[in-house]
Amino acid sequence: MSGTRALENAMKVQKLERSWQLVATLLSLAAVSACTGTVSDVGGGPAATNSAGGVSGLAGTSGSISNGGSSVGGVGAAGAIGVVGSAAGGGTSTTSGGSNASSGGVAAIPDVSGTPVPESAGTLVMRRLTYREYDHMVARLLGDTTMPASGPNGWSADAVADTGFVSPNSVASYHVTVYNQSANALVDTALKAWAAGQKTGLFVIPCTNPTAAQETACATSFITTFGKQAYRRPVAPAEQADLLSLFSTVRSTDQLSFTDAIGAIAKAMLQSPNFLYHWEIGPTKPALGADGLAPLTSWQVASRLATSLWESMPDDTLLAAAEKNELATPAQITAQAQRMLADPQASQSLYSFHLQWLFNMGFHVTDLGAIAAKPNSLLTAAAAAGLQNEFTQFIASVYAPPGDGTLNTLYTAPYAFVNQDLAAIYGVMGPASGFSKVNLDPTERAGIFTQVAFLAGIEDSVADNPIYRGLAIYTKALCGVMAPPPPNVPSVVFKDMGTTRQAYDTHGSSACATSCHSVFDPPGFAFENYDGVGKYRTTDAGQPVDATGTFTGPVLAPGSGGTVFKFNNAIELSKQLAASPEAQACVDRQWARYMLGRMETTADQGSLQTAFKKGAETPGFSLRDMLVTLLSSKAFLYRQPSAGEPI
Amino acid sequence: MMKRDLRFSRRNLLRTLGAGAALLPLLESDPADAQCLAGGIKRLYIFAWPDGMLSSTNSWSATGNDPSSWKLAPFQASLQPYQSDLLLLNGVDYKFLRDGPASERTGHACLPGMLTGALYKSAGSSTAGDVAGGPSVDQFIGSKLKAGGYGGLVSLNQGAFVESTARLSWAAAGQAVIPDFDPYHVFNTYIKGKITAPASSGTPATPPATTPTVDYVKASQKSILDAVMADLNRFSNVVGTADKANIDRHLSYVRDIEAGLATMTGTGTGSTGTSAATTGSGAACGVPAAATATPVAFKNTDNIPVIAKLHMDLAIAAFAADLTRVAVMQIGDQGAAHLILSWAPLNFKSGGPNPGDANTGDVNGLHAIAHRNVADKVACDTWFQSQIAYVIGQMKSIADPSGKSMLDSSVVVGMNNMRTGTHETTGVPVVMAGSCGGYFKTGRSLALPAGTPNNGLLIALCNAMGTPTQTFGDAMYGGELSVLKG
């Protein structure tokens, strides 16, 4: 074997090994017996039979997909539905602590074909701000846009939760240390700027050289004004009294200047749980309705909207609406949500949601913004640096007007946003500088899965790896769940060269051949027309590309799903995905996970159904309507009290 | 392009330490050239990395009970100068993994338990999500020392290229300790202002004669933290039980920061203070120059040798000033699939574009190399051993007034989450160095009986450090590995 050939084979072996590790780390959700034919949907139907039936599967070698458990069971009852993860196998994979152990099992889906279920609500997760939320908030509050938490020199990362999204519950000593230091540094910088006559963010010291008699009133004014922003709700009287007491102590005992004493208040606020955690309820106890649910306060609704759609905090308009209790009706919330989606800040959440949804695999987190720094990238520096921009601009163009907001556009639109180097990959003329929208050949490109950001970024390097791509389609776009690979998967001996597909298509005799690879290989091979950087190709290793395939989609609910996808290439697959109820129901569910910060439960099912139906009213499935409906649904406006919460 | 020189001369090995020629004099100098330590303080340094200490083509060092009776394996040649300080174990069994819930049964999944010896509290949906069932040995020892009146940190937990969120150290079951990857942050947070700057002479610096002043900035910091704690108390009363526990932990961490302020007796932020923790001076115990030099990008893989060295230097400086007695350093996460050892003499790089195919991938990432498990892996193994050697050498070069080196009163432990790159959770080798004040009998290379749980080692570390325990992790794994005492 020549040296070159040995190298190529070594690389293919390596890719396969990585894929195996990925598959292994991805899963182990349900302890279905290894890979013997058990590919399941997430959740199955509302039925208690999951460990046996819900995830069960089919016969070992058939390679088809299990029906997710026959429906029985009362929805709405705080019962276990679906299974994912929790049921079988002793591996309860709840997220760490926190309040997201909601009633009911992990679960259901919008059972889009089943009987509508009354809307209800699960628990509210008390979670820490994500690092990106923190960064966006301090940018607004203090004008610091350096992204101290999530930037290139940012903090040790928080884990991806079982939702597939970063959603931190617990706190470590490290966090408290960096919160302390960051609060001091941010406020000291703002104080310096203030002394130099510059206002940074919302940091405004309300009086200039006040007399001793005026100082308390000035401090009070700062507390109420800055505090309402930082806490996303009015500062409560007891809190205000403590902060005034702090002001008085640092001013007199600690002998700080007036402005430094105001700064001390800001430093305390930035370390307060009222800033650092999503709860926003304040010291008042919730009042439960007859159904046992507590309505979110208007401030909580404002925060939920800002977090969900902007990855940040409410703006003045939202706060004013909360103040006037104008976030109570679906119409009011819809109006705000529509406004927010049209705001540039929406790109922050849209990026974060889609990136994590489509790219996070197991523990592996892709940062499109960091790919340029990877030593291995085959992309030019400008192309790599442009991935985040391409991805974000495309998604924003879909969700925000004048985009039609449909899943169909997201998955099939033949255009992209490119700089010159990305244009070269697409084979089109790009802008001389900056980014611009370009139309692409619709026979070569359709939607987000055929764009360079996905194709090159999915492995955050630049190898075309059909397994990663296939897993993204099956487990992310279709919410399918794979059983873990069997132990001791033997090393695959690659054939001597060939196309990528040939190299990977060697599972014929392996234990996972039919039940695992038959599921995620075909959607991966659909992308064989794109090389590692996403350049279109019709030949691979001198042979014609074969991007044809067929696979059975996951069963999302009894009687729903199990669709057979059959395609000649990724264009056809993307179009089929856009039209499939599974993919539509899946995106509904993924958005809910992202915004609720936990897995969906039976209690959320009615709202998920409502949102799905709203989305489906529009041809191509309106993501925008679905999203707005979710945000104004009962699951998002009410909550069950947490266990042990004083009522 | 795949060709690289895998021959390791001693000089090359030293270069791999990332220190290059600068290190040579230190390693070859008289150990007792700097006297800055208080005598008799025991310290624990743990160095961990993934994907196996061995490959299929290198063997562990020979067994022997006396330095003259055994030889180090070639890949451990960097440890040669310290053979009489070594205690090599071959090897321990990560039984906790196979007996309890875990995301998978490979060595990758051992990372969260190798320092706890406890069955996992729960299995994650990936190796990043496995939740340890008890405290790790660093946290156990550090907490006990603090409970006994020691005023420094519980431990200093550092890392380089820890991409995943699988955690090595745990404050308690389910409570991960997050390592600090940023050495400059480590310096600014835990060391700056608490250690005497390098002095030109070997004598301790005399504190400047100043009239005692009140540090109002610091006093205001305390006032601020008081307000924060009041807020946390209020907050914890309106949330559910699980959230309350979390907020109460948050509160305790704020209290720690406040306690740290109280023990700082310097005259202002960043000044060279008169902290009681400062016990001496001299280059080896002072602030590592790199800590205050122009920072390098600490997340850039190419900078790992520089960053790892700085992390280690900072830990040793913190040891010398008695700011911590326990330190943990981790390079790579449970799989390190994207960790490319790109520095000399390893020089792993992508193979570059493959003619006719854009396939490359991290064919030279540590994980893939570990799976190939042959010569390239030996080169990586060799580099990691050299990192342990660096720590040992540095600790040996610093002496207390009695002439004993820091290493003599300390123990260094190098651990991995598997045996070789192919996932074995049994017979996992361990490198130990330093007798921890005479507790361990060094100069030996031991073959442990098959099935020796790692718990016995962890218990021995607790006992050696003066924080005795009968069991560690799950009690069913028995007591101390007493053979270490000799």
Report the Cα A330 to chain-centroid distance in Å.
24
pLDDT at site A153 = 86
pTM of the model: 0.82
B window 429-468, beta carbon within 8 A of A: none
Which H or E run contains A535? Answer: none
Q: Say if residue A354's pLDDT is above 80.
A: yes
pLDDT at site B103 = 83
- Mean pLDDT on A10-39: 39
Gap between the Cα atoms of A471 and A39, Å rounded: 12
Gap between the Cα atoms of B178 and A172, Å rounded: 7
The ipTM, to two decimals, is: 0.84
Q: Is B277 on the interface with A (CB under 8 A)?
A: no
pLDDT at site A541 = 83
Q: Say if residue A475's pLDDT is above 70.
A: yes
* Chain A partners within 8 Å of B358 (Cβ): 378, 462-464, 531-533, 535
Of A8, A25, A642, the CB nearest to B103: A25
Of B108, B180, B245, the CB nearest to A174: B180
Q: Tokens 């570059």 label which residue?
A: B352
Per the CB < 8 A criterion, the answer to whether A54 and A72 are in contact is no
B window 404-423, beta carbon within 8 A of A: none
Do the strands A560-561 and B156-160 form a parallel or antiparallel pair, or are they unpaired? unpaired
- Put simply, the answer to whether B125 touches A464 (Cβ < 8 Å) is no
Gap between the Cα atoms of A438 and A524, Å rounded: 26
Nearest CA-CA partner of A473 in A568, A552, A531: A552
- Put simply, the answer to whether A93 touches B125 (Cβ < 8 Å) is yes
Distances (CA, A) of B231 to A231, A270, B202, B241: 12, 11, 48, 17
* Chain B partners within 8 Å of A245 (Cβ): 227
Q: Is A257 on the interface with B (CB under 8 A)?
A: no
Nearest-CA distance A624 → chain B (Å)? 31
Q: Say if residue A55's pLDDT is above 70.
A: no
- Put simply, the answer to whether B247 touches A267 (Cβ < 8 Å) is no
Q: Find the closest chain B residue to A486 by CA distance.
A: B104
- Put simply, the answer to whether B299 touches A535 (Cβ < 8 Å) is no
pLDDT at site A469 = 87
Query: Hey, what amino acid is at B478?
Result: G
Distances (CA, A) of B356 to A2, A508, A539, A575, B159: 16, 26, 9, 30, 39
Question: Residues A69-100: pLDDT tens digits?
Answer: 332 222 222 322 232 322 222 222 333 333 33
Q: Specify the 3-state DSSP secondary structure of A422.
A: helix
Q: Is B233 on the interface with A (CB under 8 A)?
A: no
Nearest-CA distance A483 → chain B (Å)? 11
- Mean pLDDT on A491-520: 60
Query: Hey, what amino acid is at A326?
Result: E
Do the strands A539-540 and B156-160 form a parallel or antiparallel pair, or are they unpaired? unpaired
pLDDT at site A38 = 30
pLDDT at site B76 = 97
- Put simply, the answer to whether A484 touches B125 (Cβ < 8 Å) is no
Q: Is B189 on the interface with A (CB under 8 A)?
A: yes
Query: Hey, what amino acid is at A33?
Result: S
Reading chain B (486 residues) residue by residue, the pLDDT tens digits are: 333 333 333 333 333 333 333 333 333 333 333 346 777 899 999 999 999 999 999 999 999 999 999 999 999 999 999 999 999 999 999 999 999 998 888 898 999 999 999 999 988 777 778 899 999 999 999 999 999 999 899 999 999 987 777 899 999 999 999 999 999 999 999 988 877 544 333 444 444 445 556 788 889 999 999 999 999 999 999 999 999 999 999 999 999 899 888 764 332 222 222 233 333 333 456 788 888 888 888 888 889 999 999 999 999 989 988 899 999 999 988 888 778 898 989 988 754 332 222 222 366 788 888 888 889 999 999 999 999 999 999 999 888 777 889 999 999 999 999 999 888 999 999 999 999 999 999 999 999 999 999 999 999 999 999 999 999 999 999 999 999 997
Chain A to chain B, count of Cβ pairs less than 8 Å apart? 307
Of A267, A362, A541, the CB nearest to B356: A541
Give the dihedral sign, CA A371/A376/A378/A381.
positive
Do the strands B43-49 and B410-416 form a parallel or antiparallel pair, or are they unpaired? parallel
pLDDT at site B434 = 97
**Confidence band, pLDDT 50/70/90 cuts, at residue A540:** confident
* Chain B partners within 8 Å of A643 (Cβ): 240-242
pLDDT at site A498 = 66
pLDDT at site A46 = 32
Q: Is A90 on the interface with B (CB under 8 A)?
A: yes
Gap between the Cα atoms of A65 and A89, Å rounded: 20
Q: Say if residue A103's pLDDT is above 70.
A: no
Gap between the Cα atoms of A420 and A41, Å rounded: 42
Q: Tokens 């218990």 label which residue?
A: B459
Q: Tokens 């290894």 label which residue?
A: A34
Q: How many CB atoms lie within 10 A of CB B211?
A: 5
Q: Is A81 on the interface with B (CB under 8 A)?
A: no
Gap between the Cα atoms of A512 and A527, Å rounded: 21
Angle, helices A605-616/A581-596, rounded to nearest 10 degrees: 130
pLDDT at site B212 = 53
| Interface test mutation site (partner B, options A1, A7, A14, max chain B beta carbons within 10 A) | A14
- Mean pLDDT on A582-610: 94
Question: Residues A441-469: pLDDT tens digits?
Answer: 999 999 999 999 999 887 644 455 777 88
Gap between the Cα atoms of A480 and A473, Å rounded: 9
Q: Is A99 on the interface with B (CB under 8 A)?
A: yes
A window 309-348, beta carbon within 8 A of B: none
Q: Say if residue A35's pLDDT is above 70.
A: no
Helix, strand, coil shares of chain A, percent, nearest 5, are 45, 10, 45
* Chain B partners within 8 Å of A254 (Cβ): 216, 219-220, 223
CATH class of the structural domain B10-206+278-485: alpha beta
Q: Tokens 């695992």 label which residue?
A: A516
